[in-house]
């Protein structure tokens, strides 16, 4: 049997991919849109939904807010595309957060992200429905999947954007950092469609769900064969939160120049480990080589919006704050009571972090021994009781 070329594997025949040459029988790979979808409206602003299987990821809700806004301005509909195994329970929230339509593709073979399954499915959907704009999260999945789909449908992709907007003539303006974040550029895709961008998690706020809103769920016929999938998920290995990508962490402990040295960062790492947080840093800490660049938060680093952000020895210069100001709660530890970071902190701790952190770590270790885990409230209570801590309203 002749080997199929990559192009043959992905070429769509009548909207779906034929694998018969590959395995000697007629098996279809990809999505076969139902009649209603083929006849449905073209255009629209799409969001490819990131989820855990049980929950919609925050980034999807952030993108839906953007999609809703763009769709309203363009007079189009906002559409969520949900791929997974038995995920229809997630569709109502997508409607409440702005989607008018949810395309629902369900199959056990879509349970875990697999580019061999997801790529042809989305390529078929996009070719069939011709959205005007497709937004993706700049997550592990979005970063892998969006370029594959863009290449196959023959359009462009602006990756890792911090913002999207519309030009006067209705083109999507995709704003992304360049030259290591020293500048940002506006990208437009004037001819090819759809216009596609991945957006950094936390870059735009999510809209509150509106329980009165509902989306129309449209099932997509999925016809996938395990033989057509070159990749198979063997095992999921959970990595400790401290090594999580900062954009995906729910709790972050960040250190700045005030930490003083690479050795000083062990205290930051210890605290992060105790509270189940990812470690992040300001630019001087990265420039000094204490922490790798991928952990830098700020204008030329990453944008984060965790539940809790604990800043240690970070003064709060705007270049840093732009990357973390959407954190739900901010705790700041700094020896200078006038440090600007305190203006955005919910809890301020004025003191030398080399004294504050060991005392805090000891208290949290005791708490862990007594209770097993430390919830956010307990961490905050412990922090608030550290000498020098002051709650600000």
Ligand X SMILES: Cc1cc2nc3c(=O)[nH]c(=O)nc-3n(C[C@H](O)[C@H](O)[C@H](O)COP(=O)(O)OP(=O)(O)OC[C@H]3O[C@@H](n4cnc5c(N)ncnc54)[C@H](O)[C@@H]3O)c2cc1C
Binding site for ligand X (CB under 6 A): 181-182, 256-258, 282-285, 296-301, 313-315, 317, 319-320, 323, 334-336, 339, 352-354
Residue 17 or 297: the one with the smaller Cβ distance to ligand X is 297
Between 28 and 176, CB nearer to ligand X: 176
- The Cα 50–Cα 64 span in angstroms is 11
Return the number of the residue (196 or 314) whose C-beta is nearest ligand X: 314
For the bound state, the minimum distance from the C-beta of residue 322 to ligand X, rounded and expressed in Å, comes to 8
For residues 71 and 254, which CB has a smaller minimum distance to ligand X in the complex?
A: 254
Q: What is the smallest separation between the CB atom of 284 and ligand X, expressed in angstroms?
A: 5
CB nearer to ligand X: give 86 or 336: 336
Tell me the closest approach of the beta carbon of residue 279 to ligand X, in angstroms. Answer: 14
Task: State the minimum distance, in angstroms, from the CB of residue 186 to ligand X.
Answer: 18
**Nearer CB in complex with ligand X: 103/265:** 265
CA distance 338 to 336: 5
The residues pairing with 158 across neighbouring beta strands, listed in sequence order, are 197
Collapsing DSSP states into helix, strand and coil, what is residue 187?
strand
CB closer to ligand X, 58 vs 334: 334
Minimum Å gap between C-beta 200 and ligand X is 12
Q: What is the β-pairing status of strands 172-178 and 163-166?
A: antiparallel
Measure the CA angle with vertex 293, ends 289 and 294; round to 5°: 145
CB of 282 to ligand X, least distance (A): 3
d(CA 26, CA 109): 18
Tokens in use for 168? 């006067």
Q: With 0-12 CB in 10 A as exposed, 13-18 as middle and 19+ as buried, what is 122?
A: buried
Judged by beta carbon, residue 208 or residue 390, the one nearer ligand X is: 390
The whole-angstrom separation of Cα 280 and Cα 60 is 23
Shortest separation between residue 176's beta carbon and ligand X, angstroms: 15
Query: Smallest Cα–Cα separation from 126: which of 49, 44, 60?
Result: 44
Which residues is 251 bridged to in the sheet? 308
Q: How far is the CB of 296 from ligand X (least distance, A)?
A: 5
- H or E element in which residue 329 lies: strand 329-334
3-class secondary-structure state, position 94: helix
The first and second tokens of residue 50, run together, are 């990131």
Nearer to ligand X, 153 or 249 (CB): 249
Q: Rounded to whole angstroms, how far apart are CA atoms 27 and 227?
A: 9
Contact 245, 278 (CB under 8 A): yes
Nearest-angstrom CA–CA distance, 29 and 112:
17
Beta bridge partners of 252: 278, 309
Provide, rounded to whole angstroms, the least separation between the CB of residue 252 and ligand X.
Answer: 13
The tokens for 200 are 């950094």
């Amino acid at each position: 049997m002749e080997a199929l070329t990559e192009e043959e594997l992905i070429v769509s025949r009548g909207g779906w991919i034929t694998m018969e040459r590959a395995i000697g029988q007629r098996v279809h790979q990809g999505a076969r849109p139902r009649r209603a979808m083929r006849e449905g409206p073209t255009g629209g602003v799409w969001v490819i939904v990131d989820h855990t299987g049980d929950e919609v990821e925050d980034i999807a809700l952030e993108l839906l807010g953007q999609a809703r806004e763009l769709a309203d301005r363009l007079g189009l509909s906002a559409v969520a595309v949900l791929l997974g195994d038995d995920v229809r329970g997630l569709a109502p929230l997508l409607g409440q957060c702005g989607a008018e339509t949810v395309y629902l593709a369900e199959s056990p073979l879509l349970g875990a992200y697999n580019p061999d399954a997801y790529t042809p499915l989305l390529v078929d959907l996009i070719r069939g429905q011709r959205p005007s704009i497709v937004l993706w999260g700049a997550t592990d999945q979005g970063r892998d999947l969006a370029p594959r789909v863009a290449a196959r449908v023959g359009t462009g992709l602006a990756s890792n954007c911090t913002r999207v907007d519309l030009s006067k003539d209705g083109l999507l303006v995709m704003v992304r950092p360049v030259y290591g974040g020293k500048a940002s550029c506006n990208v437009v895709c004037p001819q090819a469609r759809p216009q596609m961008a991945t957006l950094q998690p936390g870059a735009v706020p999510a809209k509150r769900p509106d329980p009165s809103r509902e989306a129309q769920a449209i099932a997509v016929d999925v016809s996938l064969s395990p033989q057509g999938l070159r990749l198979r998920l063997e095992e999921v290995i959970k990595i400790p939160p401290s090594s999580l990508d900062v954009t995906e962490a729910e709790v972050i402990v960040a250190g700045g120049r005030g930490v003083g040295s690479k050795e000083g960062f062990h205290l930051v790492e210890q605290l992060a480990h105790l509270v189940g947080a990812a470690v992040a840093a300001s630019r001087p800490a990265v420039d000094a080589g204490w922490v790798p660049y991928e952990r830098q938060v700020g204008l030329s680093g990453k944008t984060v919006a965790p539940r809790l952000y604990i800043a240690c020895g970070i003064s709060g210069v705007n270049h840093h704050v732009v990357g973390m100001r959407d954190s739900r709660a901010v705790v700041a530890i700094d020896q200078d009571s006038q440090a600007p970071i305190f203006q955005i902190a919910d809890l301020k701790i004025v003191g030398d972090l080399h004294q504050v952190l060991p005392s805090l770590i000891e208290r949290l270790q005791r708490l862990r021994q007594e209770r097993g885990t430390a919830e956010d409230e307990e961490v905050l209570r412990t922090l608030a009781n550290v000498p020098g801590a002051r709650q600000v309203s």
